[in-house]
Amino acid sequence: MTRYLSILGTFARACLVRDLTFRANFILECLTSLGWMSMNLAFYLLVFTFTPEIGRNTGWTREPFFAFVATGLIINAIVQALFIPSAEELTELVRTGGLDAVLVKPLDAQFLLSLHRVDFSALANGIVGIALLAWAVARFAVPPPPVAWVLYPLLIVCGVAILYALVIMLAAATIHLGRNQSLYDFWFYITNFSRYPAEIYSGPWGSPLRALCTFVIPILLVVNVPARAIAQPLTGAAWWAIGGTVLAAVAALIVSRLVFQRSLTRYRSASS
């Protein structure tokens, strides 16, 4: 276990050194993600000039909504910093046959392939997310109860775990198919559904979609449940959701690992 941690430390250190060497590029990447995020925040502010709440009686007024956005920023920053860079490189590794070198090492392949690249510039959004959360929570009519502050980090971890499981399954598809057109595009489309509170999915089309994205591919649990824990009152239904999310996270990790292992046994390897 400690061995894995120290190896992770070496990877992270190597990536940090590289990022700091290409400093200008690093700063540009930070500014890029901050830039997109600001555009979106501007859009949300615009929306709130037309309405006091997103959805009727959902509780997502302006400050809670921004707490939701902040939660999304934090979770996505973690996933994009830790897991996405390695997953993107996986396509290259499979194409060039570099994956062979990974399989030969006495180290869990999934660990190596998930974490060998870290993108520190993606954390910029996460930091802004934390600031935004602080700003929003300070303006709540009713401050969140202490238990919410315990649940929040736990549920963030669950959200990250569910997204990680998704990344791993996409990576497994890459290994199996030998190529992936663009992992990042696919990722964008999937996570796009979880940008807003789940309550917006209502009506004859919305409700089935909401059910699909909650119970089958649980992406709606990722941001909604932690955000609701901090921004909305903790009702009985909320506790069910929290329990379900923890279970979903564990299940997702197990399922994704099985899928990944399976894809390794069917690995073809590039021709020499």
Site residues (vs another protein, CB under 8 A): 3, 6-7, 10, 14, 18, 28, 31-32, 35-36, 39, 42-43, 46-47, 49-56, 58, 96-98, 100-101, 103-107, 181, 185, 189, 192-193, 195-196, 199-203, 206, 265-269, 271-272
The two tokens of residue 28 are 């540009």
Instruction: Say how far apart CA 123 and CA 105 lie, in whole Å.
Output: 30
Count of residues in the chain? 272
Between 46 and 142, whose beta carbon lies closer to another protein?
Answer: 46
Between 139 and 195, whose beta carbon lies closer to another protein?
Answer: 195
Phi, psi of 66 (to 5 degrees): -70, -30
Between 57 and 138, whose beta carbon lies closer to another protein?
Answer: 57
- Block residue for tokens 């830039």: 35
Instruction: Say how far apart CA 49 and CA 29 lie, in whole Å.
Output: 31
Shortest CB 119 distance to another protein, Å:
14
Shortest CB 232 distance to another protein, Å:
16
Contact between 159 and 221 under an 8 Å Cβ cutoff? The reply is yes
Between 36 and 239, whose beta carbon lies closer to another protein?
Answer: 36
Instruction: Say how far apart CA 204 and CA 211 lie, in whole Å.
Output: 12
Shortest CB 101 distance to another protein, Å:
4
Q: Which of 34, 31, 47, 30 is nearest to 196 (CA)?
A: 47
Shortest CB 181 distance to another protein, Å:
5
Between 96 and 235, whose beta carbon lies closer to another protein?
Answer: 96
4 phi-psi bin (left φ>0, alpha ψ -120 to 50, beta other): alpha
> Which residues does 81 contact at the CB level (< 8 Å), separation at least 6?
118, 119, 120, 121, 122, 123, 126
Phi, psi of 201 (to 5 degrees): -85, 90
Between 35 and 153, whose beta carbon lies closer to another protein?
Answer: 35
Shortest CB 11 distance to another protein, Å:
8
Shortest CB 244 distance to another protein, Å:
22
